[in-house]
Amino acid sequence: MSQRVKIGKLAVLLASLDKEELTPFQDQLEGVKFCTGRAGSMNMQKVIAAVETAAKRQHIISEEVYRETHSLYHAILEALEGVTRGQIAIGDMMRTVGLKFAVVRGEPYARNGEGEWLAVAFYGTIGAPVKGLEHETMGLGINHI
């Protein structure tokens, strides 16, 4: 892969590694803007809102411009396809998620004109709404911004 900065890989690492495990990747993280957060819910709307709110509050995307919200929204949905694998639904299908998420904004391509892209990653658990009846899940979405 000829990409200069792997924003997808960085988002995945930010969502799945703890602080100590992230240490070797600090250099790569200096080339991008990012935020992280947590969302635990049976309600898909709350998961989407948690990511959007974090990305706006921490100035990863602009609140004023619809095209940035549109880009982030589709990156979130694509990441949720990986999390839910088949139907973007949780509570309606009697399952719950406990997720850590990361949003990374950077310039993955060296070519002129490619500009900025967004990566959204989720990592955590999905399962029955009973503690322990769950397994790991992950998702990644990428979009131009």
8-67 positions binding a second copy, by CB under 8 A: 8-9, 12-13, 16, 21, 24-25, 44-45, 48-49, 52, 62, 64-67
Burial of 11 (0-12, 13-18, 19+ CB in 10 A): buried
Q: Which of 61, 96, 97, 123 binds a second copy (CB under 8 A)?
A: 123
Minimum gap (Å) between residue 35 Cβ and a second copy? 19
14, 35, 71, 105: which one binds a second copy (CB under 8 A):
71
User: Which 85-104 positions form the footprint of a second copy (CB under 8 A)?
Assistant: 85-89, 91-95, 98
- The answer to whether 142 touches 78, Cβ cutoff 8 Å, is yes
Minimum distance of a second copy from residue 48's CB (angstroms): 4
Per CB under 8 A, does 141 bind a second copy?
yes
d(CA 19, CA 11): 14
Q: Give least dist CB 1 to a second copy, A.
A: 5
Which is closer to a second copy, CB of 58 or CB of 69? Answer: 69
CB-nearer residue toward a second copy: 59 or 70: 70
* Nearest one of 51, 123, 41 to 82, comparing CA atoms: 123
Residue 31 phi/psi, 5° resolution? Answer: -85, 0
- Does position 73 bind a second copy by CB under 8 A? yes
Alpha helix ranges (H) inside 30-105: 44-57, 66-84
Collapse the DSSP code of 128 into the 3-class scheme (helix H, G, I; strand E, B; otherwise coil) and give the result: coil
